[in-house]
A and B are shown apart, each in its own frame.
Chain A
Amino acid sequence: MLVSNLETAPGHRVVAHLGIAQGSTVRAKHVGRDFMSGLKNIVGGELKAYTELMQEAREQAVERMVAEARSMGANAVLNVRFVTTSITMGAAEILAYGSAVTIEPA
Chain B
Amino acid sequence: MLDFFLQTANLWLLLALVSVGYVVGRSLEKRHYASLRVRERELLDVVALSTRYVPPGVAPSGATLVSGSVVVSSDYFKTFVAGFRNLFGGPMRGYETLLERARREALLRLKLRAREAGARLVIGVRFHTTRVAGSSTPSVEVMAFGTALFTPA
Contact = CB atoms under 8 A, between A and B. Distances in A.
A89 B134 contact: yes
Question: Which of B21, B62, B105, B123 has the largest count of A CB atoms less than 10 A from its CB?
Answer: B62
A44 B136 contact: no
A60 B27 CA distance: 36
Interface in A64-99: 80, 82, 84, 86, 88-90, 92
Name the residue in B17, B20, B145 with the highest tally of chain A Cβ atoms < 10 Å from its Cβ: B145
A10 B72 contact: no
Interface string B111-153: 0000000000001101010111111110101010111011000
Contacts of B61: 11
B103 interface: no
B65 interface: yes
The DSSP consensus for interface residues of chain A is mixed
A44 B130 contact: no
Point out which of B25, B65, B131 has the most chain A C-beta atoms below 10 A from its C-beta. B65
Contacts of B25: 43-45
A55 to B, nearest CB: 6
B70 interface: yes
B54 to A, nearest CB: 5
A66 B86 CA distance: 44
Contacts of B131: 86
A3 B147 CA distance: 8
Contacts of A11: 59-63, 150
B74 A44 contact: yes
Given A2-B63, A43-B28, A29 B128 contact: no
A64 B31 CA distance: 38
Interface of A: 2-12, 29, 34, 37-38, 40-47, 50-51, 54-55, 58, 62, 80, 82, 84, 86, 88-90, 92
Given A4-B65, A44-B75, 7 more contacts: A2-B62, A37-B73, A42-B17, A42-B21, A45-B72, A46-B72, A51-B70
